[in-house]
Chain A
Amino acid sequence: MPPPPLDVKNLSVHYHLQDEPALSAIDYRAEAGKLTAIIGPNGAGKSTFLKAVMGLIPSTSEKIEAFGKPVATQKDKIAYMPQRSSVDWDFPVSALDVATMGLYGKIGLLRPVRKKHKDEARGYLDQVGMADYADRQIGQLSGGQQQRVFLARTLAQNPSLYFMDEPLAGVDIATEKIIISILEQLKKDGKTILVVHHDLQSVGSFFDNALLLNKVKISEGPVKKVLTPSNLSIAYKSPVIANVG
């Protein structure tokens, strides 16, 4: 059996100057070719989990491996889509420039962006319905359009494993539809996708698996098995009903 796309053992994160750990002793194996939602209440450590796995914040662990090797050596096979709030929207770049950034790894250090790269990036913008906005400065797009441009950048990396931090947060219906259909297409292509998701109501209709967190791992597996009333009341510390689809 090939090694899992993501294999995490005993991962803990302790932020500087905070008493409580943000995440404790998380064990998790991602199932290949599945669309998995990372869910849990605000402050549960969902984004922290992805950031720690990517090595963006300090953490302790016995193992963080992708495809059987340390994540740090596999970054060309992984794409990370940060939360939309993480950039300066007044920055002088166009939607096309941002999508092209997904190709930088392939272009290589010190090598210039050529026309063929821009044409390729334009293709990814087209996939998310943003080709007509290619030359627009990034701040002049709506929130949903910005999110689609970020998705185009992620697609341009053409990875085997996707980490997405709240791609569906605060987007319009059109954007949600486009993002969901692309996630489904990626799944058909055999990609493994982990998505931080905040909306319990839609988990069942969009995702195969779920990882339920609140500082510790509460449950993982198929959505129906994870989103039980007892698991949810442990995670949310109050009764919650989810639509398991």
Chain B
Amino acid sequence: MWDDFLHVLMFQAAHNTNMVLTSTIFLGAAGGMIGSFIYLRKRAMLTDTLSHATLPGVALGFIVAVLLDLNDGRHLPTLLAGAALTALLGGLCVQWIKSKTRLNEDVAIGSVLSVFYGGGIVLLSAIQRMEAGSKAGLETFLLGQVSGLSQSETQLIMLVSVVVIIAACALFKEFRLICFDEIYARAGTMPVLKLDMALLALMIVVVCIGLKTVGLVLIVALMIIPAVTARFWTDDTAKLVVIAALCGALSCYIGASLSASLPNLPAGAMIVLTAFSFFTFSFFLAPKRGLLSSSLRSHHA
């Protein structure tokens, strides 16, 4: 078992496993980066809602792909397009409930999450009864799986991750400003609404490319845990983003390797637990903000 794990970790497993592992590392880096801004913008719960809102889109994408006779329904671009579409719709619903009714954001977020997820589950069971299409494996979108990604799919994930990382670097200064002081940003010349939309779009893109390996239930953790972990180690936004990207990448690398080498452990859960172990380590032992150092300091004070 341990040998299997090391085998995967050292990229000595089958070629396909290595490819999946590499793409997951890219995904983790992109997730950690975008997650830093999501965390600083205080949009973690919105992210969770939008990732759950991808489920009906995945199911609808599958049905469309079956109707169009694409790869027995398991045509990743179509599934991801559906996922992005319903995530966006979920986001619009949250915005609409917030602005047009007296309900608070947390009510809007909670109800959109459960209604969209419920709708997705119903669509999934309807699909199970469909004659056509090879629906086996559709449920792995919930918790993620490292096997079963084709070469072109891993390439798609890597390519999109790189694009997300480049976009996050290019917009770093703008994202930092709208996260730190939105009112000041709006008083200036910066297009704050468009930047917020860009951040939301990048977040939905990360959710979508993470659906197959991390799964939609846990993808929010891959974005938020690395960012809060990084916060323990630095007071600088740029360093926070870099550390979060490293932590996300490392969590994916170790978590996906564990999932690939041990039987019946979903990749998403292993990745999130790995990230959580980094968080726990930092929470107790980080030099300035960790629990140990701050309790030592208050003891001396």
Contacts and interface: CB of A to CB of B under 8 A. Distances in A.
A88 interface: yes
Interface stretch (A33-41, A75-83, A120-128, A181-189): A75-83
B180 A91 contact: yes
A126 to B, nearest CB: 21
Interface string B181-208: 1011011111100000000000000000
Contact of A105 (B179, B183, B190): B190
B292 interface: no
A160 to B, nearest CB: 14
Given A92-B234, A92-B237, A94-B236, A109 B190 contact: yes
- Which one of B172, B236, B239 has the highest number of Cβ atoms from chain A below 10 Å of its Cβ? B236
B235 interface: yes
Contacts of B186: 54-56
A157 B187 CA distance: 12
B173 A107 contact: yes
Interface in B226-243: 231, 234-237, 239-240
Given A92-B236, A97-B237, A137-B235, A54 B180 contact: no
A154 to B, nearest CB: 9
A82 B184 contact: yes
B34 to A, nearest CB: 16
A87 interface: yes
Contact of A75 (B40, B181, B187): B187
A113 B173 contact: yes
Contacts of A97: 176, 236-237
Contacts of A55: 186
A56 B237 contact: no
Contacts of A2: none
Contact of B179 (A91, A94, A109): A91
B188 A75 contact: yes
A87 B185 CA distance: 12
Nearest to B235: A137
Interface residues of A, number: 30
Given A75-B189, A92-B240, A101 B179 contact: no
Contacts of A111: 173
A157 B191 CA distance: 17
A82 B173 contact: no
A109 to B, nearest CB: 7
B234 A56 contact: no
Contacts of A56: 183, 186-187
B66 to A, nearest CB: 41
A135 to B, nearest CB: 9
Task: Identify whether the interface residues of B are mostly helix, strand, loop, or mixed.
Answer: helix
A162 to B, nearest CB: 12
Contacts of B121: none
Nearest to B169: A112
A104 B180 contact: no
Interface string A55-97: 1100000000000000000011010101000111001111001
B187 A101 contact: no
A92 B190 contact: no
B185 to A, nearest CB: 8
A82 B237 contact: no
Given A76-B189, A112-B173, A94 B181 contact: no
Interface string B212-252: 00000000000000000001001111011000000000000
In the A-B complex, list the 6 residue pairs whose CB atoms are closest, starting with the nearest.
A80-B187, A137-B235, A54-B187, A105-B189, A82-B183, A75-B189
Interface of B: 40, 102, 170-174, 176-177, 179-181, 183-184, 186-191, 231, 234-237, 239-240
Given A91-B237, A157-B188, 10 more contacts: A17-B102, A80-B187, A82-B184, A86-B183, A88-B180, A92-B40, A93-B176, A93-B236, A94-B236, A104-B188
24 contacts: A54-B187, A56-B186, A56-B187, A78-B187, A80-B187, A82-B181, A82-B184, A91-B179, A91-B180, A91-B237, A92-B237, A93-B176, A93-B236, A94-B235, A97-B176, A98-B180, A101-B181, A104-B177, A105-B188, A109-B190, A109-B191, A110-B174, A112-B172, A153-B184
